[in-house]
Chain A
Amino acid sequence: MNIERQEIEKLATLARIAIDDSTINEVSQRLSSVLDLVDQLQAVNTEGVEAMSHPMQATQRLREDEVTEINQREAFQAIAPETEDGLFLVPKVIE
């Protein structure tokens, strides 16, 4: 299996990972070898088999709608790259 350059570029955009032009071939080769491995799954007959997401069939629990967390904005913003007036700062989005 071979992944085309175009597809790698699309994946890189979806995953928000910048891939250097010079490494695209290497990335493509390595992804292809992993996909060859996982493609063994395609040969398995799974007709009627239920997909498994939790071993104990657990479902999301519900709880009372009560406030359980205290506001810790300062603690969380103390470790942020950039903040201003209690807000997380990112580069300008609208010109």
Chain B
Amino acid sequence: MHNLTIAELIKGLQSKEFSSVELTQHFLNRIGSLNPAYNAVITVTAEQALKAAAEADMRLAAGNAPALCGVPILHKDIFCTNGVRTSCGSKMLDNFIPPYNATVVENFEQAGAVVLGKTNMDEFAMGSSNETSFYGPVKNPWATDCVPGGSSGGSAAAVAARLAPGATATDTGGSIRQPAALCGISGIKPTYGRVSRWGMVAFASSLDQGGPMARTAEDCALLLNCMASYDDKDSTCIDREVPDYTATLDGSVKGLRIGVPKEYFSEGLDAGIEKAVRAALANLEAQGAELVEISLPNSGLSVPAYYVIAPAEASANLSRFDGSRYGYRCEGPKDLQDMYSRSRSEGFGKEVQRRILIGTYCLSAGYYDAYYGKAQQVRKLIQQDFDRAFESVDLIMGPTCPSPAFKFGAKSDDPVAMYLEDIYTVATNLAGLPGMSIPCGMADNKPVGLQIIGTYFDEARMLNVAHQYQQATDWHDLAPEGVAS
């Protein structure tokens, strides 16, 4: 059952081939036996899951089942779950049990999905390797001495290891696409404002966006149908109808104009990755799409702009964690200041502290205009690059990351090397555009991701093209050793 896609599971559930309780128990068993090797899941909600599965079976029997009725999923531990610990990968929130559900969690509940548990992640979503989690790193199912990517590394590894058929994730600078690429699965970061951020622990509010991960584009479409919604409680959410993303998957790619940015194929790109990505583009060309070389001249500025904006917003967002109302409080504070500073230095890990300090620096008196103001202007330049490109192309494609999954520790001592992992992904967050990664080959025996960037609210077209590519290839069917059997 774990090798079936969500689309197949829905059919199986509706035709009573298996029940949701059987399916849920099967995935819980897999989490129990396989998760210790990957550390992808940090909270298992077995009892609630089986109860929800039993209810789903009743609805399925009654014939009034909603879209995802009985389908087991995992939530990234950044989404607040009523009564279930939501740690955000941090000691700061190790004891935090939210009294409410995030809108995304609520949407999945409405759709009848069964939540198996919560996935590991980089602390406060700050990282590209999952090494900053308070709960220890997640291991890449393709090579357990390598990172799964981050920050949604737990969700990506769990889907790759078939511990769940799909999972929620978030992407601030590449946190859905990069781990999806490194773990050989599909993931989409929708347009900024498409998915509600309410109840999603904030990292950088002008960049954060939730999205789904699954093995296929079709499954991502099914999950996004449920995840995307307009929400009054998120003031940055855009009030726009959510199309049925599965309705347009079958369209042909004939005549589609695909922009290939020359800046995404410059030095620093692994040769094996380039080969796989070029082959994927050739496949789409053979299906009738047209490849157009384009230029995004300000690409090189996206990482510097991102590493001003994201830490600046993080330093403001994370000021709420002070030991007063919830979360970690240090032992025996001698006064209020001591409680604040010790709770924060003991509760936050090194990378989070580093980003708070950088953000504080960029926002402090005398530096605001030179850093934050300047970065917001550069952000506009990056958006204008994309606007110009989309005048002549429908989609933009290139690699998701510069190299395949790297070994633990390879970049953890050098923040700048780690930040460059995001070189092809952060620009879409800065512009607010949707981005996707799908598996398109192997390099050094590890998966390679093809990145698809669309214009605003063009998720349906991205999913359509990804689905057409997956109809013609089988990279998305590959499984890490020992996982499929």
* CB contact between B333 and one of A12, A49, A91 (< 8 Å): that residue: A91
Cβ–Cβ < 8 Å partners of A60 in chain B:
235
Q: In the complex the two chains form, is B381's CB within 8 Å of A31's CB?
A: no
Query: Which of A10-61 touch B at CB < 8 Å?
Result: 11-12, 14-19, 27, 30-31, 33-42, 44, 46, 49-56, 58, 60-61
Q: Which one of B5-13, B35-43, B258-266, B352-360 is at the A interface? A: B352-360
Cβ–Cβ < 8 Å partners of A67 in chain B:
none
Q: Which size bracket describes the interface of B in this complex?
A: 35 or more
Q: What distance in Å separates the Cβ of B19 from its nearest Cβ neighbour in chain A?
A: 34
* CB contact between B348 and one of A17, A34, A52, A63 (< 8 Å): that residue: A17
Is B408 located at the chain interface by the 8 A CB criterion?
Answer: no
Q: Which one of B110-118, B172-180, B367-375 is at the A interface? A: B367-375
Q: In the complex the two chains form, is B329's CB within 8 Å of A81's CB?
A: yes
Q: What distance in Å separates the Cβ of A94 from its nearest Cβ neighbour in chain B?
A: 10
Q: In the complex the two chains form, is B377's CB within 8 Å of A37's CB?
A: no
Q: In the complex the two chains form, is B206's CB within 8 Å of A53's CB?
A: yes
Cβ–Cβ < 8 Å partners of A12 in chain B:
341, 357
Q: In the complex the two chains form, is A79's CB within 8 Å of B377's CB?
A: no
Is B361 located at the chain interface by the 8 A CB criterion?
Answer: yes
Q: In the complex the two chains form, is A41's CB within 8 Å of B378's CB?
A: yes
Q: What distance in Å separates the Cβ of B379 from its nearest Cβ neighbour in chain A?
A: 5
Cβ–Cβ < 8 Å partners of A75 in chain B:
99
- Taking each of B353, B357, B378, which has the highest tally of chain A beta carbons within 10 Å of its own beta carbon? B357
* CB contact between B307 and one of A16, A38, A44, A93 (< 8 Å): that residue: A38
Chain B residue nearest to A68 in the complex (CB): B232
By secondary structure, the A interface counts as: loop
Q: In the complex the two chains form, is B357's CB within 8 Å of A18's CB?
A: no
Is B153 located at the chain interface by the 8 A CB criterion?
Answer: no
Q: Residues of A within 8 Å of B, CB-based: how many?
A: 50
Cβ–Cβ < 8 Å partners of A51 in chain B:
373, 376-377, 379-380
| CA gap between A88 and B336 in the complex, in Å | 13
Cβ–Cβ < 8 Å partners of B95 in chain A:
79
Is A72 located at the chain interface by the 8 A CB criterion?
Answer: yes
Q: In the complex the two chains form, is B304's CB within 8 Å of A16's CB?
A: no
Is B238 located at the chain interface by the 8 A CB criterion?
Answer: yes
| CA gap between A76 and B370 in the complex, in Å | 40
Flag B361-402 by CB within 8 Å of A: 1 or 0 each: 110100000110111111111010000000000000000000
| Interface residues, chain A, with chain B CB atoms under 8 Å away | 3, 8, 11-12, 14-19, 27, 30-31, 33-42, 44, 46, 49-56, 58, 60-61, 63, 72, 75-76, 78-82, 88, 90-93
Give 30 A-B contacts (CB < 8 Å), ordered by A residue: A8-B357, A11-B361, A12-B341, A12-B357, A15-B344, A16-B340, A17-B344, A17-B356, A18-B342, A18-B345, A19-B345, A27-B357, A31-B354, A34-B307, A34-B415, A37-B416, A38-B375, A49-B378, A52-B377, A54-B432, A55-B433, A58-B193, A76-B99, A81-B329, A90-B324, A90-B339, A91-B335, A91-B336, A93-B335, A93-B336
| Contacts beyond the supplied A17-B356, A18-B345: 20 A-B pairs with Cβ under 8 Å | A11-B357, A15-B360, A31-B354, A31-B358, A33-B415, A35-B361, A37-B416, A41-B304, A41-B308, A44-B301, A46-B378, A51-B380, A56-B456, A72-B99, A79-B97, A79-B98, A81-B326, A81-B329, A90-B336, A93-B335
